[in-house]
Amino acid sequence: MKNVFYLILLFFLYNCSKEDVPTTPIVIKNTGEINNVQTFGGSKNDALNSIINTTDGGYAVLGYTQSNDFDIVGKTNESFDFWLMKFSSENELEWNKTFGGSDDDRGVDIIATNDDGFAIFGYASSTDLDVTQNAGSQDFWMLKISNDGSISWQKSFGYAGSDKGVSLIKTSDNGFLLTGVLDVSASGGEGNSKSAQRHAGGDIWAIKLSDNGNLEWSKYFGGSFTDTPFGVVETTNNNFIIAASSDSEDFNISNNIGTYDFWILKISSAGLLIWEKSFGGTEIDEPRAITTTNDGNFIVVGDTRSSDTNVSINNGAADLWMIKIATDGSLIWEKTIGGTSFDVARSISNTQDNGFVIAGSSRSSNADFTNQGQNDAWVLKVDSVGEIEWQKIIGGSEIDFLYDAVELNNKTIIAVGESSSANADITENKGFSDALIIKIK
């Protein structure tokens, strides 16, 4: 009987294929190793403000360039233009394009569209070349770009003053929400305070567009001083959460805490104010970005100079400040990260492990911080509760800054910004400032 059992066992082992053997899946994890540091630009000022994943595994970056030489092609003057670059999954530059006129036009935000193209957004002062319309010294300027970099359509919004576009998202109905700053004093009575009490500061201006760029609604939010939006997300029920800074204490702002606060407001899909909350201490606290969390709440990052009220700790002149808020605007938790000098966040985006990647800059050189010169580029990976998994500080002897970072499908992190250095971690500088791209694996 024992021999029969062994024969059956041998038969089973012989006929068991490799496909029948269970295997442990390979988990790719970003360990924070710097893989590549590159600069792009010409002999003038060049910077990158925003980055997105593309469906082919690569990425696209948007910023602005004043140059018309070296890496910048097809540009004839030395005014500032939108600058869009497309990279492959192998980090190879596939094409780069500039958009603008003969005046100051700067790209701030980019999103992917359903046709594998892009929508790019910022502000324009020009009235010629690519810019077909401008109502004042600066207007919101949005362009729909095809996947080969050509313009499909464009839209301008503004009045006689300096109206600056800041952030752009694609909405669930395949339209767009644009946010930026309205120059109230030059708007001819537009704005939250209306003509009865015009003021010198700016109001938050939110504009909803259809998928082909037609205006659906336009709304203003703020008080008598300076109110500036820095990021917006759409909620699961098609409302919007805007992260802004405010030093106002009237009109829409009900609970100003200090000089500037994190001012978070929720508006409906029709642009009506649902609630607003202020967070911070008695000093200057300014948010710079917002994202959703896997549990349906929101994370806002920026910087704080406070050490009281909502801010439990401050390590130096300014710290990165991160808050998590619920859907009703209540504070869930807050964290500060930094050294004894100025350490700030400028973006936050989600990673595949339900954590976040944050980009900004650091001037500290104590504790876990090193500094090569002035501002150094700073990128850090945190988990779902804001604990640091790793951080990297990259720079030279001049000013180096990051404005955005994303995780690609293969878990590589790409961070973008600008650099004026040509030593230490930054090997080349072609002009006053160059676009900076850092690859982390």
In-domain check, residue 10: no
Q: Is 342 helix (H, G, I), strand (E, B) or coil?
A: strand
Mean pLDDT for 50-69 is 97
In-domain check, residue 94: yes
Sheet with 34-40, edge to edge strand ranges: 34-40, 434-440, 413-419, 400-407
Residue 193, pLDDT score: 54
| Strands 413-419, 215-221: pairing kind | unpaired
Read off the pLDDT band of 199 (50, 70, 90). low
In-domain check, residue 246: yes
Residue 27 has pLDDT above 50, yes or no: no
Residue 2 has pLDDT above 60, yes or no: no
In-domain check, residue 23: no
- The torsion region of residue 3 among left (phi > 0), alpha (psi -120 to 50) and beta comes to alpha
In-domain check, residue 15: no
Instruction: Report the CATH number that the domain containing residue 74 is assigned in CATH.
Output: 2.120.10.30
Mean pLDDT for 57-68 is 97
Q: What pLDDT, in 10s, does the model give residues 298-319?
A: 999 999 999 999 999 999 899 9
Q: State if pTM tops 0.85.
A: yes
Looking at the structure of the chain, the number of domains it has is: 1
In-domain check, residue 20: no
Residue 373, pLDDT score: 85
For residue 437, with 0-12 CB atoms within 10 Å meaning exposed, 13-18 middle and 19 or more buried, which class applies? buried
Q: What is the DSSP string of 348-388?
A: EEE-TTS-EEEEEEE---STT---SSSSEEEEEEE-TTS-E
Q: Is 196 helix (H, G, I), strand (E, B) or coil?
A: helix
In-domain check, residue 204: yes
Residue 231 has pLDDT above 80, yes or no: yes
Q: Which range marks the domain in which residue 254 is found?
A: 28-440
